[in-house]
Amino acid sequence: MTDTLSRPLRLNAVSYPAAIPGVALPAYDRDKVTVGVVHFGPGAFHRAHQAFYFDQLLATDPRWGICAVSLKSPGVRDALQPQDGLYTLAQLDAETTFRVVGSILEVLVAPEDPPSVFARLAAPATRMVTLTVTEKGYCLTGDGKLDTAHPDIIHDLAHPRLPISAVGYVVEGLRRRHQVGLPPYAVVACDNLADNGWRLKAAVVAFAEAIDPPLAAWIEAEGRFPRTMVDSITPATDDALRARVETATGLNDAWPIQREAFTQWVVEDVLGDGAPDLASVGVTLTDDVRGFERAKLRLLNGVHSTIAYAGLLKGHETVFEAISDPALARIAEDLMVHDIIPTLTAPRGLDLAAYAQAILGRFRNPEIRHLLSQIAWDGSQKLPFRILGTVADALAAGRPVDRLALPLAAWMHFVRRRAAEGEKIVDPLADRLVETAAACTGDAEADVARFLKLEPVFSRDLAGNAVFVAALEKAYAALA
């Protein structure tokens, strides 16, 4: 559909039915949809992920439309308001598909209109609050507790009726519901933070305890804060995507979203009565979120780091290029099948072998340009969780760790090379890494010993394990 100047019309509630055939459109009457979800943090990931699941659910249950709340920037509101909340989701695969998502009914900017946010939180129809505010948005200390020294929390404890933090808004909404006898909404954190629901509940209860102890007791007893795991690569929106979406749909979209075709949402099965039927649209409800997290951490993230460091050493730039290298592809698959899966206990509903193959398929997606250099950042923080836990379990079981030593040795060479070339090392231990690399001579035994002294990375038990050290020295020498 075009105007008199032959320019595509702006995507909105009137124009979207005229999208080019083949574009998936909302399979429901948006006029009959009501708000049942308040979401804090309507960035790209939410619109590519949770909003996509609710968009599917609305085809059978119109009670789960979304009120999206931005805690700071009006950017999303300004882009989507003229579009009646509609936007295009491009699902990137060997064949890219396009879908107009209609689950977001309104976008509020909290600093501009707190009363409207409170009204939504206190509405009887609101049964769920979801969040994608990044890890720092929860205002937690390093050990996962509410950071009462955080400027936003200091403000909110002094002015609890006019909060600025996500925790403050969640508590004020619950206070208003408690005041009029409404049940609490379920609070679903969707950021990659271990035990995210439990940590958020503890922070919310601690905040409430400081201002209203009976409210805190009610939240502690009645509140539902499931742990979750989310996964889907969501590249940033750029002008190339806007142009591609316009060509594919025939409509102008100010802020389309793109992600890989693969998407995963795992939710602890504690939502209770009256919850949306998320399982009907592909969400995994489980009593073992940690099992899914561990599988993702070791199979996806661990192998990501492996091909990142090994791929960079071989001159590759992206995950797709690295996994297209037959030698690296073979290492990645063997690592998964023979080294990582034996250390995992599959949670109910997860086929580890199929999951591993799905991950390899994601790596081979030519539409996703995932830079190895970005994955390589912060290795000193990532490797203990992504690789070294698997190493420890393999050693305890008496299994070989030769392949598992490869990504660690590749990381050491990566650090050496970056330091020698004077390139910045993005890592919390950057200064120590540069110092360690500067002392390296290329001798495997001596160089590995230097890196093993980095106790934030390698535990004393691992650094003193002769089997592990021998495997690491062998891998280091081979990669040299």
* Residue 98, amino acid: F
pLDDT at residue 329 in the model: 98
> Is residue 128 a part of any domain in this protein?
yes
Say whether 389 sits in a helix, a strand or coil: helix
Q: Which residues contact 310 (CB under 8 A, 6 or more apart)?
A: 322, 328, 331, 406, 407, 410, 479
**What pLDDT is stored for residue 4 in this prediction?**
46
222 in a structural domain? yes
Is residue 9 in a domain?
A: no
CA–CA dist 368, 124 (Å, integer):
41
Taking the C-alpha atoms of residue 439 and residue 416, their distance in angstroms, rounded to an integer, is 9
Q: Within this chain, do residues 264 and 377 fall inside the same structural domain, yes or no?
A: no
- For residue 143, the model assigns a pLDDT of 87
| Strand, coil or helix: 55 | helix
Mean pLDDT by 10 residues, the chain (480 residues): 66 97 98 98 97 98 98 96 98 95 98 98 98 95 94 98 98 98 98 94 98 98 98 94 97 97 97 95 97 97 97 97 98 98 95 97 94 94 95 97 98 97 94 97 97 96 97 97
Please tell me the predicted confidence (pLDDT) of residue 94: 86
Residue 424 lies in a domain: yes
**In this structure, are 282 and 294 located in the same domain?**
no
Examine the fold and report which residue of 227, 255, 286 is the final residue of a domain before the chain moves on. Answer: 286
Residue pointed to by tokens 């997290």: 293
Residues 197 and 296 in one domain: no
Q: Please tell me whether residues 236 and 343 are part of one structural domain.
A: no
In a shared domain, residues 186 and 119: yes
> What CATH number does residue 313 fall under?
1.10.1040.10
Same domain, 229 and 157: yes
- Contact between 229 and 268 (Cβ < 8 Å): no
Task: Based on the fold, state whether residues 295 and 282 are members of the same structural domain.
Answer: no
Q: For the chain, what is the domain count? A: 2
What is the C-alpha to C-alpha distance for residues 42 and 22, in angstroms, rounded to an integer? 27
Is 202 contained in some domain? Answer: yes
Q: Which of 241, 256, 286 finishes a domain?
A: 286
> What residues are paired with 140 via a beta bridge?
146
- Which residue range forms the structural domain that includes residue 230? 16-286
Q: Which of 257, 286, 315 is the last residue of a domain?
A: 286
Task: For residue 6, tell me if it sits in a domain.
Answer: no
Q: Across 182-329, where does the E strand assignment appear?
A: 186-189, 228-231, 257-260, 264-268, 284-286
Q: What pLDDT is stored for residue 455 in this prediction? A: 93
Has residue 317 been placed in a domain? yes
Same domain, 253 and 303: no
Asked if the structure places residue 5 within a domain, the reply is no
Kindly state whether residues 331 and 256 are assigned to the same domain: no
Three-state DSSP at 324 gives: coil
CATH number of the domain at 276, please: 3.40.50.720
120 and 223 part of one domain: yes
Helices (H) and strands (E) in the chain, counts: 22, 11
Same domain? For 270 and 323 the reply is no
**pLDDT for 5:** 54
* Same domain (yes/no): 308, 161: no
HSE (CB half, 13 Å, CA atoms) of 395? 20
